[in-house]
Each structure stands twice: as structure tokens, then as C-alpha cells.
Amino acid sequence: MKNEMPLALHIPEPKFRPGDHPDFSDMRLPAAGAAPRPDTHANARDTHPLVYDLIRVLDEAGQAVGPWNPKLDPETLKRGLRYMVLTRIYDDRMQRAQRQGKTSFYMTCTGEEAIGVAQAMALDRADMCFPTYRQQGLLIARDWSLVDMMCQIYSNSRDRLKGRQLPVMYSSKEAGFFSISGNLGTQFPQAVGWAMASAYKGDHRIAAAWIGDGSTSEGDFHHALTFAGVYRAPVILNIVNNQWAISSFQGFAGGELTTFAARAVGFGLPGLRVDGNDFLAVYAATEWAAERARANLGPTLIELFTYRASAHSTSDDPSRYRPADESKCWPLGDPVERLRRHLTALGAWTDAEHEALVEELTQSVRAANKEAESYGTLGTGPTVSASTMFEDVFKEMPPHLRRQRQQTGV
């Protein structure tokens, strides 16, 4: 039999390009409160309908509804709001610092603040996070010093990483924040190894890792799922689906064919797909997964469905590849505004209080920045001594590095 049909290749294409009017009305968005909440001790299979669903708690009116409502008290909610607002102001300040030439590079997490912040709050302070470059909210919600973060960005004399890392590639063991790698995805299986070690030692701490939708195509993503499942590592594996990997939409990572949460199914892991702009849903899902890990029930894969509202980085101009107003049309809204509306609906928050909060945090970020700049900025100094370049390659400096250090004359 002859096949008359010429074969054709499919090249994914996002729905909208610059100049198009973005219209997400055909997006299937399950109602808040509709997704069932299996017991944390449930079988992985019992979660599998949830990998295609979307766990949402906050409805359009700002009410918390359904079985996933974590029932947080207003004080905790206000703390969450505060960290999210702080993260946004911090991003804004640092982005401007880059524009002013005080550093080479910056990456904001605009539109994704609920992820870093809610997850940090749902985890224990001692749990170890293996983030990407877009979870600065983790450090902020762990009350890590903004000055310390800024000094890293400025590669200045107080940079704990001694000017070795690209700005935003923080590291703080003390804050439970693993050193960020520029090679995408590598942290995912490392988090599994850390979690395996914790289980091996009979520790109580669990690990959590984050990866972007684009980076799920990397082999390391699959290795992480294999090892996590095989050894039932106490780890939470988060995929931040913000729709875009620089200019490539999530279809190039296989997102046209299925959800990212559904990757859990083939590995036998429990999987949850969560509205990433819903502070309460993110909190609840993380809490669920953490409880499971702590009960020795192993890993959970979570897809956080969100939108990267600003540029990929300061080197990127998203209006070249997507409609400029696409983020405003994103049907799941802005995480900060949604939590604010919820607190207002609860009668626990007023516009005046919000304005005062923004003002207070703007001032504190400004003060932190002033202090950080007094320790130097990129190119204008002061910096740590260049001779530190030869330190930490090995625990003890070998003779050839000593000789090279002498040769530099620094």
C-alpha cells in the first residue's frame, strides 16, 4: 500500500505574536474550590486527575473557597503580602540599578512572587531550597538581609561570593538557599541527592527544588524524577510554568501535548497542578507535599501555572516576540493584587494600610540599597581583593595556584 500523504513537521507556535490582541477566553480554567483534595497519605494515583486540573483557592471575589483552603490567619496572610510587595519593590530597585550601570545584569520575578514567598512560608526554615534565578522571594520570605543580596548583585567588597557569580546567583547555606548554577536544571537532581542524604541520616529536613517550564526538557529534570521516585526522596519538585523560556513559549518544552504536572504520572509520583498566582493555593499545595515528604511518603511534583509578566532578564525585550499587553490579559491576574483583595474582603486590610506598607518597604529597600552601594558597585569598587580569585578552587590551595597568584601580583 502506498502512502500518498506527504509527511509534515509540526513547529509549535504561540497563540499570539506582537501586534495580535491576546485573548485567553478559550483557556480552560477550573473554578476556585473545585479541585478535590486527596488525603496527604493518598496513593500517588489518587492525585493523577489533579495533574490535568488546576488547584485554585481564591475566587474572583477574593474569597478563599474549597478543600484546598489552607485557612491561614490574617496575620500570616499579611506577612505573605508584605514579602510579596517587598520582593516586587526589591526587583524594581535592582532592575533600575542595572539600568544605571551599577551592575551588569538583573532578573525580576514579576508576576511570580506568590511562588517564592508562599513556598518559603509553607516550608520549614531548616528545609533546603534548590532554586532557579527567579525565586528571590525565598530569601526575602526567610528574612534574609536585603543588603547581603544587593552586595552579591553589585559584586562589591561585602559580596559573600567574592565577585565570582553572575548577579542574582545567590548562595546562602545559612538561609537554606543552595548556590544557583547558570547551567539550567542541574539543581533538580542535586536536590534529590540532598533529600536522599537527609533521609539517610534520619534528619527531619526536606528539600525543595524549582525548575522553569523550558528547562524541563533538560535530561537532569528526568534524572531527578527517576531518582526521587526510585528512592522515595523527601523532596518537593516544583516546575514553574511561566509560559515563556526567553522567547520560546512552553510548547517547545512539550507543553502543547500535556501539562507539566502530568510528567508525574509516568514516574509514579503524585502530581499537583496549581494556580501559581494564588498565594493560598501555592501555600496549600506546598504544605500538602511537605507533609507527605515528612511522613516518608516521598516526592511530589508540582506545576505552578503562572505567567512571566516582565522580561526574561535585563538583556531581554519581550515585546519582540509576544504582545506587549499579554501579561495584562493573563486570566489568572496578579498574585499581589489577588492576595490584597482577599485580605480586603476579609476586612483585615485597607487601601490606606496598603499604601503605608508600600511606602514603608520602599523606604527600607532604598536604605538597604544605599548601604549596599556604600560597599561598592560593579566597576566602581570597592571590591574584594582579586587575589581571592584563587581561593576555594580546592580546600587547600595547591602549589600551581599559589604560583599563579604570585604571578598576578595582587
Partner 1 sequence: MPAMNMIQALRSAMDIMLERDPDVLVFGEDVGFFGGVFRCTEGLQQKYGKRRVFDSPIAEAGIVATAVGMGAYGLRPVVEIQFADYIYPATDQLISEAARLRYRSAGDFTAPLTVRAPYGGGIFGGQTHSQSPEAIFTHVAGLKTVIPSTPYDAKGLLIAAIEDDDPVMFFEPKRIYNGPFDGHHERPVTPWAKHPASDVPDGYYTIPLGQANVVRPGDAVTVLAYGTMVHVALAAAEDSGVDAEVIDLRTLNPLDLDTIVDSVKKTGRCVVVHEATRIGGFGGELSAVVQEHCFYHLEAPVQRVTGWDTPYPHAFEWEYFPGPKRVAEALRQAVEA
Ligand X SMILES: Cc1ncc(C[n+]2csc(CCOP(=O)(O)OP(=O)(O)O)c2C)c(N)n1
Residues of this chain, 66-125, that bind ligand X according to CB under 6 A:
none
Q: Which stretch binds partner 1 (CB under 8 A): 4-12, 75-83, 196-204, 334-342?
A: 196-204
CB of 203 to partner 1, least distance (A): 8
Question: CB of residue 216 vs ligand X: minimum separation in angstroms?
Answer: 7
**Which of 113-121, 213-221, 270-278, 394-402 is the region at the interface with ligand X (rule: CB under 6 A)?**
213-221
| By CB under 6 A, residue 269 contacts ligand X | no
Long-range contacts of 388-393 (CB under 8 A, 24+ apart): 388/162, 388/163, 389/162, 389/164, 391/162, 392/162
The option from partner 1, ligand X, none interacting with 312 (CB < 5 to 8 A, set by class) reads: ligand X
Site for partner 1 in 203-222 (CB under 8 A): 207, 219-220
Say whether residue 407 binds partner 1 (CB under 8 A).
Answer: no
Cell of 151: 552586595
Out of 87, 103, 155, 242, which residue is the one contacting ligand X (CB under 6 A)? 242
* DSSP character string of 33-54: T-S----TTS-GGGGGGGGTS-
In this chain, which residue has its C-beta nearest to ligand X? Answer: 212
Instruction: Closer to partner 1 by CB, 240 or 384: give it.
Output: 384
Q: Please choose which of ligand X, partner 1, none residue 90 contacts, taking the beta carbon within 5 to 8 angstroms, the exact cut-off set by kind.
A: none
- CA–CA separation, 228 vs 244, rounded Å? 26
Q: At 151, is the secondary structure helix, strand, or coil?
A: helix
- Which residue in the set 111, 212, 255, 270 belongs to the binding site for ligand X (CB under 6 A)? 212
Contact stretch for ligand X (CB under 6 A) within 88-96, 243-251, 333-341, 355-363: 243-251
- Give how far Cα 22 sits from Cα of 48, 131, 326, 377, Å: 31, 31, 6, 40
Q: How far from 145 is each of 93, 178, 266, CA to CA, in Å?
A: 15, 16, 41
In sign, the C-alpha dihedral spanning 318, 322, 326, 331 is negative
Q: Give the list of residues 6+ apart from residue 232 with CB closer than 8 angstroms, or none.
A: 199, 296, 297, 298, 299
CB of 382 to partner 1, least distance (A): 17
232 grid coordinates: 522515595
> Contact region for ligand X (CB under 6 A) — 89-97, 179-187, 193-201, 294-302?
179-187
CB 387 to partner 1: min, Å? 14
* CB-nearer residue toward ligand X: 66 or 212: 212
Q: For strand 244-245 and strand 300-305, is the pairing parallel, antiparallel, or unpaired?
A: unpaired
Binding partner of residue 399 among ligand X, partner 1, none, CB under 5 to 8 Å per kind? partner 1
C-alpha cell at 80: 505573605
Over the window 89 to 128, marking each residue x when it contacts partner 1 by CB under 8 A and - when it does not, the resulting string is ---------------------------------------x
Distance CA 241, CA 30 (A): 17
Mask: binding to partner 1, 121-160, rule CB under 8 A, as x and -?
-------x-x-----------------------------x
**Phi and psi torsions of 130, nearest 5°:** -115, 85
- Choose the binding region for ligand X from 4-12, 80-88, 211-219, 222-230 (rule: CB under 6 A): 211-219
CA 157 to chain centre: 28
How buried is residue 401: exposed, middle or buried, by Cβ count under 10 Å (0-12/13-18/19+)? middle
Please report, as a single letter, which amino acid is at residue 235: V
Instruction: Report how far residue 32's alpha carbon sits from residue 277's, in angstroms, rounded to the nearest whole number.
Output: 12
Name which of 77, 43, 144, 133 is nearest 284 in CA terms: 77
* C-beta closer to ligand X: residue 146 or 184: 184
Give the binding site for ligand X (CB under 6 A): 132, 134, 182-184, 212-215, 240, 242, 244-246, 308, 312
Give the binding site for partner 1 (CB under 8 A): 128, 130, 160-162, 164-165, 169, 171-173, 178-179, 181-183, 186, 188-198, 200-201, 207, 219-220, 223-224, 226-227, 230, 391-395, 398-400
